[in-house]
Amino acid sequence: MNTDTLLKWCELDLSILKSNLEAIRSILHKHTKIMAVLKDDAYSHGDFIIAQELINAGIDWFAVSTIDEAIRLRTHQIDCPILILSYTVPARFHELVQYDLTQTVFSFEYGICLENYLMTVKQTINIHLMIDTGMHREGILYDETEQNLDKIIRLYQSDALHVSGIYTHFSVADSRSIDDIEYTKKQHTLFQTLLKQLKQQGFITGITHAQNTPAVLQYPEFQYDYVRIGTLLFGMPYGEISKLPIAKIISPFYFLKAKVFQVKELPKDKFISYGNHYATTSPSTIALVSLGYGDGYSRMFTEHNPQVIIHDQEAAVIGEICMDQLIVDVSNISNVSAGDIVTLITPDERHPHTTLDYLSSCTNCLKHELLTDIGPRVQHIYLNSTKEKD
């Protein structure tokens, strides 16, 4: 796509997405499949474009956070099953039917509420039961006392609710401490016990899934029918799992770019940007770049020597980062002018101060957390694809 009309954009190389997918498949059991998690616009990579690429590569299940995310995929001709991981308000139950969506049921009461609605309108939908084996967030509690087994069975017996799947979520699968390993194994054992109880009583459980990215990497023996993979698809392992071998063969593919819109010369001892916190120490050439914290480039970067790339050379961000622009010292880079392209985020390790690893460490956040802060003013451009994000 021609960028002549753009001030700021991100470029995404979908050939790397496909390579990441194949690397993940290489560590899965033969019969384990991937449910691709596309929460928050596929972690700001563009949900329906990513979904279509993954369908072309053989993915047949998606998970999202909200009903709006699910409907967005449906309205862009994504016809695969879509699991909504979070709460859908009762006033929108009709849209679950309308768009053929699979709703997570995380409590007995919520399941009965949904069942009552479906009986009134004489409809059925697919649901997955979320079982709380120890994270103690959402989910139907299940422990060594077989707590709530009767309620889980009651939901399987519903005529209006078709339980097409059941899952749990591990709370500390990314940790290698002895206590956390034992805790994760305990969660897994509880889930296995529940599945055994259901099968002994003659129920078809539907598809089973328990592992997210950390669990897939740390506990390959815990694989069920599907694994839920999000951040790893986008090359963003975090914490201790970023040290594992697979982290060396996957890669992020998000490049954040913007344009210079003004260049000016300043003498020594001139303040720059809000607060007068930065002053030139010698005659300087500065470039104003058309991207700021309103686009997700955090003000917190200011204190950590952020760098950008202009003419394939690194340049320091100076002064306070503003909402709509930032300022760069280009004194040592020749011939910078308005319209030049600046790269602010790149997976290129030759420029370590522009990587997600470095920038996320500046704000003490996760790499995907940083990307999901990037706002809608940043347009997406896809390489190796025929489609573009709206």
CATH of the domain at 326: 2.40.37.10
Q: What gap in Å lies between CA 205 and CA 246, rounded to an integer?
A: 32
39 catalytic per annotation: yes
Tell me, yes or no, whether 186 and 40 share the same domain.
Answer: yes
268 catalytic per annotation: no
Q: What gap in Å lies between CA 326 and CA 262, rounded to an integer?
A: 11
Looking at every residue in the chain, the average pLDDT score rounds to 95
pLDDT exceeding 90 applies to what percent of the chain? 86
CB 264 within 8 A of CB 286: yes
Tell me, yes or no, whether 90 and 186 share the same domain.
Answer: yes
Residue 8 lies in a domain: no
More confident residue, 327 or 370: 327
Q: For residue 385, what pLDDT is reported?
A: 67
Tell me, yes or no, whether 52 and 160 share the same domain.
Answer: yes
Q: For residue 390, what pLDDT is reported?
A: 43
Q: For residue 1, what pLDDT is reported?
A: 65
Look at the chain and report how many structural domains it folds into: 2
- Residue 359's domain comprises 254-365
Residue 382 lies in a domain: no
Tell me, yes or no, whether 277 and 130 share the same domain.
Answer: no
Q: What gap in Å lies between CA 213 and CA 145, rounded to an integer?
A: 29
Tell me, yes or no, whether 106 and 66 share the same domain.
Answer: yes
Band of pLDDT at residue 243, cut at 50, 70 and 90: confident
Q: Which of 196, 199, 243, 274 is catalytic?
A: 274
The pTM score is 0.93
Q: Is the pLDDT of residue 153 over 80?
A: yes
Q: Which of 39, 257, 259, 389 is catalytic?
A: 39
Residue 97 lies in a domain: yes
Find where tokens 């993915």 sit: 59
Tell me, yes or no, whether 231 and 262 share the same domain.
Answer: no
Residue 267 lies in a domain: yes
Q: Is the pLDDT of residue 242 over 80?
A: no
Residue 158 lies in a domain: yes
Q: What gap in Å lies between CA 312 and CA 350, rounded to an integer?
A: 10
Tell me, yes or no, whether 258 and 202 share the same domain.
Answer: no
Q: For residue 388, what pLDDT is reported?
A: 46
Residue 4 lies in a domain: no
Tell me, yes or no, whether 233 and 268 share the same domain.
Answer: no
Q: Residue 103 is part of a domain; what is its CATH number?
A: 3.20.20.10
Stretch among 46-60, 72-86, 108-122, 352-366 having the lowest mean pLDDT: 352-366
Q: For residue 210, what pLDDT is reported?
A: 97
Tell me, yes or no, whether 53 and 157 share the same domain.
Answer: yes
